[in-house]
Structure 1
Amino acid sequence: MLLFFQDVMPYSAFNAEIGNLSSENNRLYGFLKKGGTVIWLGDVPFFYRIRCEKMKVDENSVRNKIGLLNSNFIKEKISFKKITEEEVCYRDIISNAYIPIDILNPSLSLPNILPIPIPTKYLGFLDISQVCYSNTLLNANETVFGKLVELSSLGKIKGIFEKSHRPHKIIRNIIPLNRITLNEQFCKGEYSGSWLTQIGEGYFVRLFDYGSEISEENIKDSIKLGIKIAELQ
């Protein structure tokens, strides 16, 4: 079982070429298909991916190059950080854009760095373009299945499915644990912030989408719940 926090995908868990991110040819899909369980706590899954590389770079030089990016959003979110004298980390995926690794090569002259557009759909079903980005915590209605999940956990996580912050539009592959009807400018229809889906023999489980309010007790209970789901196989 894997337990992921927040909206940053660890590179080691999704180590795939850009062309394979939306296909079945990546490590995470293989893990799920063979019977693995992923529990995701936090904000929007797959919105960022952190990459770390061993290379000697001049931090000021790289920051200046990042400053040349056309997108203010990309400049803010790339989060370049020098870990040691020979290692740097940064976000190489931001929303629907891939940042080429050459951005960190101080020998290159890059007057205009253009992010490469990538698909927004992952694992064959989860599409981050179908996520509603609410500025407030939304009230959600638990589904019958959501209530059964709570009962299976002896009520310790009671009430966690009554809120949502980044719900995904309900599609055929998603089994909702809660449901929200939205009629906003960019969010219309039925959404769910807590849900699960089956991939091969494994399960991808989305318990929370409001990471800042997750308690330590919720995390412990989520791990127990993930183990129970994994035991269903």
Structure 2
Amino acid sequence: MLRMFTPISGTATLEVNSYSLKHTAEWFLAPHCSYVSNGRLIWAAAALGLMIADPDDAGPNLLIGVSEREHDYVRRMVGPGQTRPHSDHYCPAGYAHLQAALAQAATGKPITGRWVRPAPVNEVAAFHAWLILQADRNDPVGDLANDYSSGVRDGDHRIARTPDELLTIFRELSHSPEAYDAVVSAIAEWTRTLPSPQPIRTERIGGDSHYHEG
């Protein structure tokens, strides 16, 4: 189960504790496994060579070097009473494979082949990166960027790689006219930074004001 997460390396701060991970493992592996001890979880992390840290006053719980965002995604997907994320950008690379392997093992079929972690791909999403950097501004665009960043972090919506994708996200979510105005302002500001921007369609204008949402 731990292999499906992206390992934390270098000087990154570890944020996932073993006690939380052990419960996530129990929920994910149910009904094939009903109990995972804290010690066994730590042993498995050590066997995989994951970073492990001993925080102050943590008792028997240690910090395990797996992605906190990916762990939160899995916990929300399998944990009882959790609100499921609406986007999969923090889904661990091995999540679907492990689910399929567990289902296959439950039927008595042998598992052949070994899952190989795909090489990381650094996807260029310049508009997303720019919008995230605006979150500290004290203006409507800053408020928009802060809400957008929180939505991406919490899995409430997907990443807007382009201005058009941000408009699509806003059409899918409930929002105020002021929030939409902030979206238009942000897109206009972003467009002015480009040497030759592509046209962007905002809300379509209807033939009658009664048939247009604003």
TM-score, normalised to structure 1, is 0.20
Give the strand-richer structure, 1 or 2: 1
User: Looking at both structures, which has the greater relative contact order when contacts are Cα pairs under 8 Å and sequence separation is at least 6?
Assistant: 1
Give the helix-richer structure, 1 or 2: 2
Bigger CA radius of gyration: 2
